[in-house]
């Protein structure tokens, strides 16, 4: 803070003698004022510097131009900058190396380690991914992100230990709150739905969902509660538990009249053969869509109306082909 204040003071002090210096400093600070906040970022992102730094070299260029005797410095200077740019671009062109670099440069960043481990896992380097996360988790044992990632990787390798799930549950309940962590549940559910033999067991995921939803930190956010219940519903629906799925979906939709989520839930229910529940939800979604008058929608209202009608026709046709229309399990009422 003192350094920033000193920069502002310097810019004001030299505004008459060196207006370009003043312009460069104030433009840099103004640019970061637009792109930053009082919330500290976990990682440093270069792109936040691009616009603010646009004028930083103008005073340097002016100084060199006004001194013919030092103009020769331009060429080695440009060559050095070109080399740095090349090295930086090459690093960004290799995602695996970039993630490894972030992880090495930010030993206290769970996000950097999770990203690096995820990249290693996608490249088939599961042992390297496990080693990386093990080391990070030993330094941050209460990190829910690292514990979930370690559970996922060890499940993929078939090396899950008895206490891995308990450590993940304890980290969710007692560890440092990370609003991005619940999003890690989606790919874990996807693996179960894909029928992967190396997926985290469904029963373990159910316990994790319970821990998230019981946590005051995660359970106090309507958006997070909606997301977690939606994913929980997907999981139990895939196991044929329509009653539990309906309960989870109802909790998800109760967080707000999210027409888009309602359409998605209806499609999931229909895919599982629950046509009556799906058609009932589409009817309620259509009613809420009429009430919104287009407010708060990501797409034009007409798009949702068309999608609801399309899905309704498809579900009615599929139910006739299947020659089944089970009794409704979900009671949507006149609201979600």
The answer to whether residue 333 scores a pLDDT higher than 60 is yes
What kind and span of H or E run contains 234? helix 222-238
pLDDT digit string (tens) for 160-198? 888 999 999 999 998 888 878 888 899 999 999 999 888
The answer to whether residue 39 scores a pLDDT higher than 70 is no
Band of the pLDDT at 45, cuts 50, 70, 90?
A: low
Average pLDDT value over all residues in the chain? 86
The answer to whether residue 43 scores a pLDDT higher than 60 is no
Percent of the chain with pLDDT over 90: 40
Question: What does the angle CA 180 – CA 183 – CA 185 come to, to the nearest 5 degrees?
Answer: 135
**Span 293-310, mean pLDDT?**
85
Tokens 């009615």 belong to 316
Displacement of CA 172 from its chain's centroid (Å): 17
Q: How far is residue 263's CA from residue 20's CA, in Å, rounded to a whole number?
A: 56
pLDDT digit string (tens) for 80-115? 989 988 888 887 788 888 888 888 888 888 989 999
Band of the pLDDT at 226, cuts 50, 70, 90?
A: very high
Three-class HEC string of 36-67: CCCCCCCCCCHHHHCCHHHHCCHHHHHHHHCC
- CA neighbor of 25 nearest in space, from 11, 13, 4: 11
What kind and span of H or E run contains 233? helix 222-238
pLDDT digit string (tens) for 121-159? 988 999 999 999 999 999 999 999 999 999 999 999 988
Q: Which residues of 44-81 are buried (b: 16+ CB within 10 A; e: fewer)?
A: eeeeeeeebeebeeebeeeebeeeeeeeeeeeeeeeee
The answer to whether residue 208 scores a pLDDT higher than 60 is yes
Q: Say how many C-beta atoms besides its own lie within 10 A of residue 32's C-beta.
A: 15
Largest CA distance in the chain: 90
* CB contact at 8 A, 227 and 184: no
**Span 249-278, mean pLDDT?**
89
- Torsional sign, CA 11, 13, 14, 16: positive
Q: Residue 53 carries which DSSP code?
A: G
The answer to whether residue 257 scores a pLDDT higher than 80 is no
Q: How far is residue 88's CA from residue 82's CA, in Å, rounded to a whole number?
A: 10
Considering only 169-173, 241-245, 331-335, which range has the smallest mean pLDDT? 331-335
Which structure tokens are listed for 147? 């514990």
Q: Which residues of 119-155 are buried (b: 16+ CB within 10 A; e: fewer)?
A: bbbeeeebebbbebbeebbeebeebbbbbbbbbbbbb
Which structure tokens are listed for 242? 């329509």
Which structure tokens are listed for 24? 């460069």
What fold characterizes domain 98-178? Answer: 1.25.40
Which structure tokens are listed for 181? 């962590």
Give SS3 for 287.
helix
pLDDT digit string (tens) for 65-75? 888 888 888 88
Q: Which residues of 203-213 are buried (b: 16+ CB within 10 A; e: fewer)?
A: ebbbebbebbb
* CB contact at 8 A, 244 and 203: no
Q: Which residues contact 309 (CB under 8 A, 6 or more apart)?
A: none
Q: Which residues contact 269 (CB under 8 A, 6 or more apart)?
A: 237, 245, 249, 275, 277, 278, 281, 330
pTM of the full structure: 0.75
- Write down the domain spans for the chain: 2-66, 98-178
Q: What per-residue confidence (pLDDT) applies to 241?
A: 92
């Amino acid at each position: 803070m003192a350094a920033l204040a000193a920069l502002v003071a310097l810019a004001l002090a030299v505004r008459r003698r060196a207006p370009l210096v003043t312009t460069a400093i104030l433009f840099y600070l103004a640019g970061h004022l637009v792109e930053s906040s009082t919330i500290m970022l976990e990682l440093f992102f270069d792109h936040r510097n691009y616009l603010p730094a646009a004028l930083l070299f103008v005073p340097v260029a002016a100084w060199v131009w006004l001194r013919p005797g030092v103009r020769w410095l331009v060429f080695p200077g440009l060559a050095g900058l070109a080399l740095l740019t090349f090295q930086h671009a090459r690093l960004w062109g290799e995602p695996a190396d970039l993630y490894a670099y972030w992880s090495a440069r930010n030993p206290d960043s769970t996000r950097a380690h999770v990203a690096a481990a995820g990249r290693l896992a996608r490249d088939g380097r599961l042992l390297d991914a496990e080693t990386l996360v093990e080391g990070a988790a030993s330094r941050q044992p209460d990190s829910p992100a690292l514990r979930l990632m370690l559970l996922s990787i060890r499940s993929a390798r078939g090396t899950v230990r008895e206490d891995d799930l308990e450590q993940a549950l304890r980290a969710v309940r007692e560890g440092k709150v990370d609003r991005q962590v619940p999003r890690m549940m989606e790919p874990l559910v996807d693996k179960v739905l894909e029928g992967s033999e190396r997926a985290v067991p469904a029963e373990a995921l159910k316990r994790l969902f319970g821990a998230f939803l019981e946590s005051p930190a995660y359970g106090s956010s309507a958006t997070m509660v909606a997301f977690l219940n939606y994913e929980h519903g997907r999981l139990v629906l895939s196991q044929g538990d329509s009653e539990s799925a309906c309960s989870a979906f109802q909790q998800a939709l109760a967080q707000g009249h999210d027409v888009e989520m309602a359409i998605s839930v209806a499609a999931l229910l229909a895919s599982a053969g629950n046509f009556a529940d799906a058609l009932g939800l589409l009817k309620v979604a259509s009613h809420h869509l009429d009430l919104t008058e287009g407010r708060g929608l990501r797409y034009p209202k007409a798009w949702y109306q068309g999608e609801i009608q399309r899905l309704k026709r498809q579900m009615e046709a599929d139910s006739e082909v299947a020659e089944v229309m089970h009794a409704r399990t979900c009671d949507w009422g006149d609201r979600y």
